[in-house]
Amino acid sequence: MKIVVLDGYTENPGDLSWEGLEALGEVKVYDRISYAESPAIAEAIGDADIAITNKTPISKATIDKCPNLKMIAVLATGYNVIDYTYAKEKGIPVANVPTYGTQIVGQYAVGLLLEICSHFQHHSDTVFEGKWENNIDWCYWDFPMIELYGKTAGIIGLGRIGQSSARILKAIGMNVIAYDSFQSDAGRELAEYKDLDSVLAESDVIFLHCPLFPETEGIINKDTIAKMKDGVILINNSRGQLVVEQDLADALNSGKVYAAGLDVVSTEPIKGDNPLLKAKNCLITPHISWAAQAARQRIMDITVDNVKAFIDGAPVNVVNK
């Protein structure tokens, strides 16, 4: 069984091992091929039986050029980089890793909020620059300090990750409300379900934890922002395309949105002309909510299990059944 990993570096920059896959077949690992459609992708897959990707796209054209391809595994939860519908037509199962990052992504989302509320790094930097040593008062702060206790957090998408954030937010003492098309008993234990307009109108902080579907693309736009409280905070470490970025930038610059904490943008790596780069009070990190070693090890372990299950004739975590 020939296995090719198309973009292994972000999953394993050297602190993990590919030995689990290597026990299942002949493995070729590329650090990266291309994050845009390219003939090099099909060339890299070649006559492999199994292609493993994170963000390298696998299109209909690529699938057609790789007639030996029997399975595609994704080193992530999202699989929109793959033409999974066409893969199904060709009898190629696409398997993802659905639950590896539940806790760390929820932790990261709340971490973005805490940084916005207290500006830890900024104030630490000023101390090392000598500002505290030379200050006439015994303390100072350069931004408003925001207490979250008693405020309302609205979560759009109360699945596993949304619930992870909700647990932390409730521990802080926030009131948690949520909008989700699919309600659950587990969700009801952590938040009060409301319609989308109510969540937009009542929340002091809004978290995006929903997947990217046609109905959620651009869910944060000038019209939905207009329904929010003045001075709302937005947190997004789900998918950048959930936000119309120019509309959010305008709202940040006007003060309608007080601040945004983002770990994702519409095009990654971010482009220099992204309007959010010049927006006020916008914290952007480079899509690293998932990147703790423990979480990446879970990705590795589950991917190995996915490949093994396919080889054994009982595929699991298949998203294009």
Tokens of 60: 């209909």
For 308-317, give one letter per residue: b (16+ CB within 10 A) or e: ebbbeeebeb
State the virtual CA torsion across 5, 7, 10, 14 in degrees, nearest 10: 50
Distance of CA 1 to the CA centre of its chain: 32
- Largest Cα–Cα separation, the chain: 73
Element (H, E) at 29: strand 26-29
State the virtual CA torsion across 186, 187, 193, 195 in degrees, nearest 10: -120
Q: Which among 191, 147, 195 has a CA at the least distance from the CA of 165?
A: 191
Whether omega before 269 lies within 30 degrees of 0, making that bond cis, reads yes
Tokens of 225: 């922002």
Residue pair 55/5 in contact (Cβ under 8 Å)? The answer is: no
Count how many residues are written for the chain: 321
**Which bin fits 136, alpha (ψ -120 to 50), beta or left (φ > 0)?**
alpha
* Catalytic residue annotation: 239, 268, 287
Tokens of 43: 């060339």
CA distances for 283 relative to 17, 173, 225, angstroms: 33, 24, 18
